[in-house]
């Protein structure tokens, strides 16, 4: 059975829930590290007031005993602190009260799932759509990805992320060793590698917020230490770059994904794109460059995996956009809602975990095994095969 997870829960409901199936037994879970990843997702310049209410912590309710996975499904929950303000509105049982008391939403916000979801699921209260479509759900996606990340770390695989651009401001691209990249971006309020860009981005986000607007950006994820041969060229749904793309595109507000130089590959010649093959006793087969972002033929080639994603500006705006009331069919301009002016730094953390998840899943497909011990033996045998090739 391949690794998979499902999530449930609403942004203003009591909790978010995830069930993970397919994890091997005897994987040590570092709870503090996992909660640190949840904390990282909550940070970032431009986040709104909701993040001051929440202090995300994962509580495990199945599949782990004495700090180790047992091989059973892992179940975890993250409570919403904000729930205490929404208990009536989000009650599971029927409630009495006016539309206002139920906080019924009948004015769809452009850019959100509201209208499509309302029409599709035949809801006259668009809250039934927006509560689930909220990016709050990424909390438990990060929790699942954080477990994948711990699994990958057992095999020396490291994951980093950075912000490449916020709106008009692009960060100068600095090549750094992965541990340094992790440390430097962690110290930055906008997850960039230099203080000057950080200041510019902060001022820019302030300005956007003041104008009642929101702003998106581009984020990058780098994974180092990935073995050669994860994914496969033989079938479309086994191509790992394609599966990563699907994962990244499924993050709320993401509108595009690139592997390596991505779209630039359509603008330059083949001789400037492909990564030449080298061999040395020490490193075995490797590449002179990494323009293809660690993938050829849907398989990893041993170079770092490099993925970029673009996030659109958050559609909840203080500056009104035109829409139509579903009760009266009359035009209105959207009312003010609490919102994040910029969630790009948080999205960078989410993307790290989504990518880590897909790599862990492909890793498990390749190296199989029900326990960590069995997987380690399989990895060692494959490494010996590569060395003698
Ligand atoms: C979100 C709206 C805001 C964000 C939220 C995503 O929440 P609220 O509607 O409660 O103000 O803060 O993000 C989170 C709660 C989170 O944990 O990231 C939305 O509509 O997508």
Q: What are residue 278's DSSP bridge partners?
A: 286
Q: Tell me which residues have their CB closer than 6 angstroms to ligand 1.
A: 11, 48, 50, 54, 82, 134-136, 139, 316, 338, 340
Ligand 1 atom nearest residue 133's Cα? 21
- If one residue of 136, 141, 252, 335 were mutated to test the ligand 1 pocket, choosing by the most ligand atoms within 8 A of its CB, it would be 136
User: Which pLDDT band, with edges at 50, 70 and 90, does 48 fall under?
Assistant: confident
User: Which pLDDT band, with edges at 50, 70 and 90, does 336 fall under?
Assistant: low
User: Which pLDDT band, with edges at 50, 70 and 90, does 318 fall under?
Assistant: confident
Q: How far is the CA of 107 from the centre of ligand 1 (A)?
A: 18
Average of per-residue pLDDT across 317-331: 91
Rounded mean pLDDT of the chain?
A: 96
Task: Give the start-to-end residue ranges of the domains of the chain.
Answer: 4-387
**Residue 296: pLDDT over 90:** yes
Distance from C-alpha of 25 to C-alpha of 45, rounded to nearest angstrom? 39
Q: How far is the CA of 141 from the centre of ligand 1 (A)?
A: 15
**Residue 78: pLDDT over 90:** yes
Residues 6+ positions from 184 with CB-CB distance below 8 Å: 176, 193
* Short-list 97, 194, 122, 133, CA closest to 9: 133
* Short-list 82, 137, 133, 87, CA closest to 109: 133
Domain 4-387: what homologous superfamily?
Chorismate synthase AroC (3.60.150.10)
Distance from C-alpha of 287 to C-alpha of 292, rounded to nearest angstrom? 10
Average of per-residue pLDDT across 324-340: 86
Ligand 1 atom nearest residue 47's Cα? 12
Give residue-wise pLDDT tens across range 240-250. Answer: 999 999 999 99
Q: How far is the CA of 328 from the centre of ligand 1 (A)?
A: 28
Residue 357's pLDDT is 98
Which residue puts its alpha carbon closest to atom 6 of ligand 1?
A: 135
User: Which pLDDT band, with edges at 50, 70 and 90, does 323 fall under?
Assistant: very high
Average of per-residue pLDDT across 166-191: 98
**Residue 127: pLDDT over 90:** yes
**Residue 335: pLDDT over 80:** no
Residues 6+ positions from 331 with CB-CB distance below 8 Å: 322, 323, 324, 325
Residue 76's pLDDT is 98
Considering only 1-5, 102-106, 154-158, 332-336, which range has the smallest mean pLDDT?
A: 332-336
Specify binding-site residues for FMN.
132-134, 252-253, 297, 312-316, 338
Residue 319's pLDDT is 78
Residue 316's pLDDT is 82
**Residue 290: pLDDT over 70:** yes
Distance from C-alpha of 365 to C-alpha of 332, rounded to nearest angstrom? 51
Q: What is the DSSP letter of 319?
A: S
Average of per-residue pLDDT across 295-299: 98
Ligand 1 atom nearest residue 134's Cα? 21
Q: Is the pTM of this model over 0.75?
A: yes
User: Which pLDDT band, with edges at 50, 70 and 90, does 30 fall under?
Assistant: very high
Considering only 83-97, 178-192, 308-322, 369-383, which range has the smallest mean pLDDT?
A: 308-322
Specify binding-site residues for NADP(+).
41, 47
Query: Dihedral angle at the C-alpha atoms of 382, 307, 278, 384, nearest 10 degrees?
Result: -10
């Amino acid at each position: 059975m391949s690794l998979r997870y499902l999530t449930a829960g609403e942004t203003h409901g009591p909790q978010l829930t995830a069930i993970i199936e397919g994890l091997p037994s005897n994987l040590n879970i570092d709870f503090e590290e996992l909660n640190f990843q949840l904390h990282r997702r909550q940070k970032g310049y431009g986040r709104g007031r909701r993040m001051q209410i929440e202090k995300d912590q994962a509580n495990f309710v199945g599949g782990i005993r004495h700090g180790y996975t047992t091989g059973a499904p892992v179940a975890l929950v993250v409570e919403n602190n904000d729930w205490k303000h929404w208990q009536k509105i989000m009650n599971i049982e029927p409630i009495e009260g006016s539309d206002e008391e139920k906080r019924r939403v009948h004015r769809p916000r452009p850019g959100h799932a509201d209208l499509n979801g309302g029409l599709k699921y035949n809801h006259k209260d668009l809250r039934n759509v927006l509560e689930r479509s909220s990016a709050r759900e990424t909390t438990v996606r990060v929790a699942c990805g954080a477990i994948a990340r711990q699994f990958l770390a057992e095999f020396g695989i490291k994951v980093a992320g950075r912000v490449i651009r916020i709106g008009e401001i692009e960060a100068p691209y600095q090549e750094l060793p992965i541990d340094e990249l992790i440390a430097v971006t962690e110290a930055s309020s906008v997850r960039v590698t230099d203080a000057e860009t950080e200041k510019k981005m902060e001022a820019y986000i302030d300005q956007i917020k003041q104008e009642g607007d929101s702003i998106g950006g581009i984020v990058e994820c780098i994974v180092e230490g990935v073995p050669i041969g994860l994914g496969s060229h033989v079938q479309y749904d086994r191509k790992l770059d394609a599966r990563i793309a699907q994962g990244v595109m499924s993050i709320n507000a993401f509108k595009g994904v690139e592997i390596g130089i991505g779209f630039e590959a359509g603008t330059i010649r083949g001789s400037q794109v492909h990564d030449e093959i080298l061999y040395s006793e020490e490193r075995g087969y490797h590449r002179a460059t990494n323009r293809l972002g660690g993938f050829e033929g849907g398989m990893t080639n041993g170079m770092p995996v490099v993925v970029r994603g673009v996030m659109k500006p958050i559609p909840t705006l203080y500056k009104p956009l035109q829409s139509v009331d579903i009760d009266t069919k009359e035009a209105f301009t959207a009312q003010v809602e609490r919102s994040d002016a910029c969630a790009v730094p948080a999205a960078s953390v989410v993307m790290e975990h989504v990518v880590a998840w897909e790599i862990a899943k492909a890793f498990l497909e390749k190296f199989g095994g029900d326990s960590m011990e069995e997987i380690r033996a399989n990895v060692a045998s494959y490494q010996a095969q590569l060395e003698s090739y």
